[in-house]
Chain A
Amino acid sequence: MTRIPRAATQLFAATAAVAMLAACSATPDGPAGQPSQSGDLVSLVDAAAKTPIKDVKASLGEPAAPAADTKLCYITRTLSNEFWGFERDGFEAEAKRLGVNYQTFDVTDESSITEQLDKAKSAANQGCSALLASPISATGLDTVFTDALAQNVPVVILNDAKGNIPGSVYVGPDALTIGETAADYIASKLPEGGKVAMIEGDPGSSNALNRGEGFKNGLAKHPNLELVASQTAKWDQTRAQEIATAMLTANPDIKAFYSQNDGMAFGVAAAIAAKNLTGKVVLVGTDGIPQAKKEIQAGNMTATVSEQPVTEGASGVDAALWLMAGKEVPAWIDVPAFIIDSENVGEYPTGMP
């Protein structure tokens, strides 16, 4: 039996040896022989600029029709989340409208971080004229982006996970502003103040972190609002319902809930209804998916901070084509989120903006 430890130590020693060997002799960037000079793409992207999409469109105009063999690749997240479906719809509709070839790559679920990386690599191997992506992890696709930019392939990041690779363009809202917008809206509905609770998304997601931080920043401006509970439901409706029920039991006088997405808000709405508090407790969701608008019309939800995934997907196509035509593009094309409540919900009958 003395052989077990010996075998185990051998295994360790060998592993360590390999690791050291690799550390000593590895080449830093990608496969040997690949050119790594950064193209003029990086200089086209104005790193400091954050410009609303309307202004960008006004100044750059309709993108010029690209060469016939142009192909845009969009690496999205899971299409089982309808939000990414709308993002894709915007991307594909705009590509179709402009007569550009396109392909969409999706992944299994929100934890498929390395699967997304593998698919992005497959996409890049096939040859893409531009890479559009919605990374699950903020840095997860960085190696693919760097390689693409080195070969003068534009990189456009759609919604969430704004990276810091020089030369990449981010198209989407400011998640901090989303949280802040929710806080301001709740303050406007509760002039006399009161207790507030937040239902958080997956703690590892940058959207959850930034929306939460923005919401707290927003609450700080309204001292009569007190955040008494904040828990993660990991984007899960059922879990949100359980958590909201427990929160209402612990603090029956909660006046408002902020949920970091609409799916969880439906769970909170059920919890509120079970306590016969529908209409008495302000409930603000995030995203603005179609079902949320129905719930707002039915009076089960007060409002949602709506994003504009279709606009983002389409603007991503425009941004890629602008870059390919040599036009200067801001590093952040802002597609702002906005409040939908009972007053304007009628303006958005189907789909998402």
Chain B
Amino acid sequence: MSQPTLPKNEPAQDSRTTPAAPRPGASIPGKLHKGRTLNLQAFGIYMAAVIIFLIFGLLNPNFLTSGNLRDIAVSASVNAIIGLGITFVIITGGIDLAVGSIASFVGIVTATLMVNAGTSPFLALLAGIALGLVCGAINGLLITKLKLPPFIATLGTMSIYQGFAYVVTNGRPVYNVPKDFVFMLNSYVGGIPVAVILVAVLAILCWLLLRRTVFGQNVIATGGSEETAWLSGVRVDRVKIAVYALSGVLAGVGGLVIVARINAAQTDAGSPYLLTAIAAAVIGGANLMGGEGRIAGTLVGALILGALTNGLVLLNVPSFYEQIVTGLVVVIAVALDQGSKGWPLLKKRKSEPQKEATA
């Protein structure tokens, strides 16, 4: 792939306002070409998305119909919502394995409140979001106050929250979810699905939070170098707790969308979203080493996953192969990410990797 000249680089400014210095490993290979720096992957992922959509469109005439594109957007919505939270967590250098369980837990509690306790759908929705916040904050507390590695802490709570989800209804699904609730999250406003509008609003909010607030800068600084951030006066613990709480809230919202989509709360409905939401964030350029992640990238990652599932179905590809293709896309996306900062093959022609995320 021939690379230079991509003008999508306005956040170069951002990186200068970031209080902490970039990670030690950040400024390694190649020379700096001011003004024409390139994030190969940021470019690559959008190109990949366009190519994937075009290929499916050529292979199946139904793929690019508005109805089908709308279905893809809806099917990507839960991954996108949960993936937004994961993106923040990954930027701090952490990981949240509990998101699937939180989605299930919030879904089952909210549905139980509405169906068995007669709570109004709106109050139940708020209660569900609050529960997600608490679950996420507990993750953050375990990680900061008990100094548990994020992987371990959320591995534990993943199991704990899933267990609670089973306990709430003794494992039974909750049916007969009130229609008002379903309309709130799974209906259409002017032909546009509410879930998609919700994703758009949440994504804009997340982008503002990450790019236009001190908090966002602190998140990036924490992921860049925790020590440097701390020395520069960032209260790293608070940042982390807030980030996991945010991830919990978004996982909860994802769980509520699932409930509205299937008209029922299943005790393990959220579990498939753990890995796909992480995959969406990673395809979109979030770096598990911390410091990097893009809101728009995560959305595109979720859309690519949705398009793959949908397109391969239209082409009648059995789901076993679909998993192979999905895995390949993740590997290729991350390989491109690595390539953008010093793959041996690309090294000679390398330009300075863009540390900052282009959202």
Contacts and interface: CB of A to CB of B under 8 A. Distances in A.
A142 B259 CA distance: 13
A123 B68 CA distance: 10
A203 to B, nearest CB: 2
A12 B201 CA distance: 11
Interface residues of B, number: 71
A20 B183 CA distance: 10
B228 interface: no
Interface stretch (B43-51, B187-195, B289-297): B187-195
Contact of B310 (A25, A30, A122, A202): A122
Interface in B187-228: 187-191, 194, 197-198, 201-202, 205, 209, 213-215
Interface string A1-30: 101100110111011101111110111101
A108 B272 contact: yes
A39 B282 CA distance: 46
B269 A137 contact: yes
Contacts of A7: 209, 213, 215
A121 B316 CA distance: 14
A138 B177 CA distance: 13
Nearest to B200: A18
Nearest to B192: A31
Contact of B238 (A1, A15, A16, A232): A1
B170 A115 contact: no
B5 interface: no
Contacts of B78: 114
B318 to A, nearest CB: 6
Interface stretch (A99-107, A219-227, A247-255, A339-347): A99-107
Contacts of B323: 108
A21 B186 CA distance: 13
B5 to A, nearest CB: 35
B238 A139 contact: no
Contacts of B126: 16
A203 B172 contact: yes
B75 A138 contact: no
B191 A31 contact: yes
A112 interface: yes
A203 B174 CA distance: 12
Nearest to B310: A122
Nearest to A118: B75
B106 to A, nearest CB: 13
Contacts of A27: 187-189
A143 interface: yes
A20 B202 CA distance: 15
Interface stretch (B34-42, B260-268, B346-354): B260-268
Interface residues of A, number: 60
B84 to A, nearest CB: 11
Interface in B63-83: 65, 67-68, 70-71, 74-75, 78
B213 A122 contact: no
Contact of A26 (B74, B171, B187, B215): B187
Given A22-B189, A79-B318, A108-B319, A138 B173 contact: yes
A112 B191 contact: no
Contacts of B269: 111, 113-114, 137
A111 B271 contact: yes
Interface of B: 62, 65, 67-68, 70-71, 74-75, 78, 121-122, 125-126, 129, 166, 170-173, 175, 179-180, 183-191, 194, 197-198, 201-202, 205, 209, 213-215, 235, 238-239, 242, 245-246, 249, 253, 258, 261-264, 266-269, 271-272, 306, 309-310, 313-314, 316, 318-320, 322-323
Given A8-B246, A26-B184, A118-B306, 10 more contacts: A1-B238, A18-B201, A21-B189, A23-B121, A28-B183, A30-B188, A31-B67, A121-B75, A126-B62, A137-B262
6 contacts: A3-B214, A19-B185, A22-B198, A108-B322, A109-B272, A204-B267
Interface of A: 1, 3-4, 7-8, 10-12, 14-16, 18-23, 25-28, 30-33, 78-80, 103, 105-109, 111-115, 117-119, 121-123, 125-127, 137-140, 142-143, 202-204, 206, 209, 232
